[in-house]
Amino acid sequence: MSVIINLLAAALGVATQPLHVGNDDILIEFAPRTPDQMSSFYEARQFPRAMLDILEKQCFITVRIHNTSQHRIWLDLENWEFSANGKPVERYHRNVWKQRWQDMDIPLRFQSTFRWTLLPETLDYLPSEIEGGNIVLPRTPHPITLKAMFKTGDDKHGPVIHIKYDKLYCAEDKQ
């Protein structure tokens, strides 16, 4: 998966430095993507115009998570809360996208390509492991705050990691 993320970053021509947050156990990098970056990425893969019209209106942030600890860390996006301007921002779950694409009769090859660019809903990170993908949020002009919780240990009963980060944003195209 990290190879895919690196290819995605290279294909998108990363214009900004990643944003970082973490502690001794985990490092998270965020790279907000512009509508043009994401549209170009999917257009190069011949996505139908109907999909591109929807995707270019979304807020994409590429996330890279690195387990820097000596124990297993568990990602569960149900434990991530986003807010902007004091109000919740609902992250679009991959099942929402799956249903939307099915309702639009989008060919499976495009649905699959879109799905592999997303951050998994759940994943365990072994020590030193790095994985990532995109999160998709409704576009907002306000700074976005993330509160995330990660369980740890093989049985998920280790110390809980809490991360709060208030410098996320939806990238804009240069005018």
Cα angle 74-79-85, degrees, rounded to a multiple of 5: 140
Q: Which helix (H) or strand (E) holds 30?
A: strand 26-33
Residues 6+ apart with CB under 8 A from 141: 170
Residue 40: count other Cβ atoms within 10 Å of its Cβ: 16
Structure-token pair, residue 141: 């002009």
pLDDT in tens, 29-54: 999 999 999 999 999 999 999 999 99
Percentage with pLDDT > 70 across the chain: 90
Eight-state DSSP code of residue 55: H
Q: What is the mean pLDDT of the chain?
A: 91
| This model's pTM is above 0.85 | yes
Structure tokens at 16: 């900004």
For residue 7, what pLDDT band results from cuts at 50, 70 and 90?
very low
Residues 6+ apart with CB under 8 A from 147: 80, 81, 83, 162, 163, 164
State which CATH number among 3.30.160, 2.60.40, 2.20.28, 3.10.50 fits the domain covering 2-168. 2.60.40
